[in-house]
Chains A and B, each alone.
Chain A
């Protein structure tokens, strides 16, 4: 197991390097001269030249990239053009809010999704099953930014039980977490259902039944444990969609997290902040994926991921 974890950690390195390379290359596509952009319109030709030298923009691309990676490794993601503060600080200030939102959303995705999926599978082809599956279909099809607005409209404007926007109390978390967690819950529900149905058909379940093991015990002890294995992978993938989705959800609910900061940064053309935050969030995702792989491995000792 330790060997596996170490190998998995090492496998992260090329992916992380690739991510930095893609972000670096995308930023090279920005039209216009970054030195002119940074120096401002009033700068003289010499000032621009000086800035270009300072930033190393006169160096060949490969040297610039190596320099960029060195800085990233040291935690230097550059400086925000607007606030003049380090990008990493700007991210870290807003990160707790985004993590809290992501945490409650993934809880909704997992708990609601698995619960609905299990019930659906247990009552296959019943009205309950059909109802849940229709809900799941609607769940994957709804644009989450629209769902957020409709939740605000109903719960905050019409019956006024939740705050319209902002952050602070637990009441603030509920609507955004539902908004962000719904499509994931729908996907997990479908996956759990099909996975459960597949497991139930296996021989060892029939054996357990023949032995007279209680149905409830079979469901939760035998079937669920094995049915969950593929679900873990889906949850991991959903976490990525969810991290990306914070951008929309935070915009809808005016939450001051990393996602909304990213959009503001794109609007203000604060490219170092855009670049840094996209890199940071992607790193989190790569890390989460690794954790998911390890959990998968722990749950399923049969496979060998070499």
Chain B
């Protein structure tokens, strides 16, 4: 028994070394072709800049995003305040910079929630098939039967409006996309010979699914994850705009935009800049996602 374990881990290691070598070469190749895709590079740069800003927000913001200065309220953009000030005299540029942490965190965490559950459901559904597949796929159909953000709204109406619940709601809203993609890829992958081979070696189902199948179907998951980040950020901002997400005085972009609505006549810049900020990052993720799809998933190339 002991001997067997040693043998198995022994071969595993050898396989792994060469496997990761191939993967590394593949990765370099993929990066090269991704860099040739101008749109993807542009998208990647936008995304990179946003993450950089979010990471170093406290040092980059010229003013305290919460500091109220009523003497300088609703100032148009100037050299002092690049994007002007809001109704409480707060510097909009600083608020947008610090708010990038909120919006990106909400986007990333909700997509991770959706991916986590979606991947598990998709793997189980595709691998086991039969009644389990039917059951899971009907459940996914039901989630998809809620138009647009209504499912997220229903969840928030029950749990209460705040950013944590937005992440949960948008996360659940993302489950179907991942589940369907992963199911489809798993169906194709489980017919491969290597899966039979590992099965014959006595590997457990959990091991087959997570150690062997999952790494091989990562490409479509990464593509979908990137595109989904765009949707998640848009949806979360929309929920905050409706007052169902971030609450004042948090500098969340959707909430800032909602506040700016009240001054559309006197100070249109209050609503303009947060909206542009959202549009740009969503475009960044869309471009990057499209580029990744062309490189990683040539079958889906449009």
Residue positions of A touching B, CB distance < 8 A: 14-16, 18-19, 21-23, 26-27, 29-31, 137-138, 140-147, 149-150, 152-153, 157, 190, 194, 239-245, 247-248, 251-252, 262-263, 265-267, 271, 274-275, 278, 281-282, 284-286, 289
Q: If A18-B142, A143-B237 touch, does A138 touch B279 (CB 8 Å cutoff)?
A: yes
Q: If A149-B257, A150-B272 touch, does A29 touch B158 (CB 8 Å cutoff)?
A: yes
In the assembled complex, the Cα of A138 lies from the Cα of B150 at a distance in Å of 24
With a 10 A CB-CB cut-off, give which of B139, B147, B264, B265 has the most chain A CB atoms.
B147
In the assembled complex, the Cα of A140 lies from the Cα of B287 at a distance in Å of 11
Q: Is B123 an interface residue (CB 8 A)?
A: no
Q: Is B163 an interface residue (CB 8 A)?
A: no
Residue positions of B touching A, CB distance < 8 A: 138-139, 141-151, 153-161, 230, 234, 237-238, 241-244, 254, 257, 260-261, 264-265, 268, 271-272, 274-275, 278-280, 282-283, 286-287, 302
B residues in contact with A285, CB < 8 Å = 145-147
Task: Decide if B241 touches A248 in the complex (CB within 8 Å).
Answer: yes
Closest to A252 in B: B261
Task: Decide if B275 touches A143 in the complex (CB within 8 Å).
Answer: yes
Task: Decide if B275 touches A266 in the complex (CB within 8 Å).
Answer: no
Among the listed A142, A242, A266, which residue makes an inter-chain contact with B279, where contact means beta carbons less than 8 Å apart? A142
Task: Decide if A282 touches B145 in the complex (CB within 8 Å).
Answer: yes
Among the listed B146, B241, B283, B302, which residue makes an inter-chain contact with A145, where contact means beta carbons less than 8 Å apart? B241
B119 to chain A, nearest CB (A): 21
Closest to B161 in A: A266
Q: If A152-B264, A262-B153, A282-B146 touch, does A141 touch B242 (CB 8 Å cutoff)?
A: no
Task: Decide if B264 touches A247 in the complex (CB within 8 Å).
Answer: no
Q: If A194-B302, A274-B157 touch, does A19 touch B146 (CB 8 Å cutoff)?
A: yes
Task: Decide if A26 touches B154 in the complex (CB within 8 Å).
Answer: yes
In the assembled complex, the Cα of A218 lies from the Cα of B72 at a distance in Å of 64
Task: Decide if B150 touches A247 in the complex (CB within 8 Å).
Answer: yes
Task: Decide if B157 touches A145 in the complex (CB within 8 Å).
Answer: no
A141 to chain B, nearest CB (A): 4
Task: Count contacts between A and B, CB distance < 8 Å.
Answer: 151
Closest to B257 in A: A146
B residues in contact with A266, CB < 8 Å = 153, 156-157, 161, 244
Task: Decide if A18 touches B139 in the complex (CB within 8 Å).
Answer: yes
Q: If A18-B138, A18-B142, A262-B153 touch, does A150 touch B275 (CB 8 Å cutoff)?
A: yes
B residues in contact with A278, CB < 8 Å = 146, 150, 153-154
B residues in contact with A251, CB < 8 Å = 241-242
Task: Decide if B271 touches A149 in the complex (CB within 8 Å).
Answer: yes
Q: If A29-B159, A137-B287, A152-B264 touch, does A143 touch B278 (CB 8 Å cutoff)?
A: yes
Closest to A31 in B: B160
A34 to chain B, nearest CB (A): 11
Task: Decide if B153 touches A138 in the complex (CB within 8 Å).
Answer: no
Q: If A15-B145, A140-B286, A145-B241 touch, does A282 touch B150 (CB 8 Å cutoff)?
A: yes
Task: Decide if A143 touches B238 in the complex (CB within 8 Å).
Answer: yes
Among the listed A152, A252, A286, which residue makes an inter-chain contact with B145, where contact means beta carbons less than 8 Å apart? A286
In the assembled complex, the Cα of A18 lies from the Cα of B139 at a distance in Å of 7
Task: Decide if B302 touches A240 in the complex (CB within 8 Å).
Answer: no
Among the listed B147, B154, B159, B274, which residue makes an inter-chain contact with A241, where contact means beta carbons less than 8 Å apart? B147
Among the listed A23, A138, A190, A267, which residue makes an inter-chain contact with B302, where contact means beta carbons less than 8 Å apart? A190
Task: Decide if A281 touches B150 in the complex (CB within 8 Å).
Answer: yes
In the assembled complex, the Cα of A118 lies from the Cα of B158 at a distance in Å of 44
B116 to chain A, nearest CB (A): 19
B residues in contact with A150, CB < 8 Å = 272, 275
With a 10 A CB-CB cut-off, give which of A30, A146, A265 has the most chain B CB atoms.
A146
Task: Decide if B145 touches A18 in the complex (CB within 8 Å).
Answer: yes
B40 to chain A, nearest CB (A): 12
